Amino acid sequence: MSYDPPRPSGRLLLTPEDKDAPARVRRLRRLGLGERAEPVFDAFAARLAEVAAAPYSKVTFIGEEQQFFAGLHTPDRGGLAAGGATTEDGDARPVGRRMGREYGFCPHVVVRRKALVLEDVRDYPRFAGNPLVDEIGVRSYLGAPLIDSTGIALGTICVEDVEPRPWGKAGLETIKSMAAELAGQLERREGDPGF
């Protein structure tokens, strides 16, 4: 995979090419995923954050142009994200449910189709310039793909921290195990619209 030429903003386009995006979008629509937040996914993200002792966690579904956080856990203070994301006045910014594919690390996990461990994102040139590093303050990331029985990587689950973090083998095994658990739940969703 190579870097694209610099964008007018001076940043490199670091988002990997995603040839599976059209099939993924069709599958997500069939499962009714990727358009709305659901309490079951927020609860899963909260449990993931607790297990990993991380301030941020997400259940992310990846479309052709954007990511959707169907499950989101942040260290909230009245709906505002604590740490990292701030306005020009220094106030905390809300963390939204949608983000472009050029942000973050989850699009890389989906294209790679395997877990990604970044103990300090600044140690990796490909990721050090990602907007989440500067704008939100993410310093470490651990994510795994949600691959269903059709073989499509629908999205990811991930945890993030604002400090460098040695996730270790235990962290990697945990994120992979929890991704498999959620992928199994998504499979049951197809036969049970009330999931």
pTM: 0.81
- The tens digit of pLDDT for each residue in 131-173 reads 777 777 889 999 999 999 999 999 999 999 999 999 999 999 9
Take residue 99 and report the two structure tokens written for it: 């983000």
- The tens digit of pLDDT for each residue in 94-105 reads 457 888 887 789
- The tens digit of pLDDT for each residue in 13-55 reads 456 788 899 999 999 999 999 888 899 999 999 999 999 999 9
Q: What are the sequence ranges of the domains in the chain? A: 21-190
User: What Rg, from alpha-carbon coordinates, does the chain have?
Assistant: 16
Q: Are 129 and 12 in contact (CB under 8 A)?
A: yes
For the structural domain made of 21-190, what CATH number should be given? 3.30.450.40
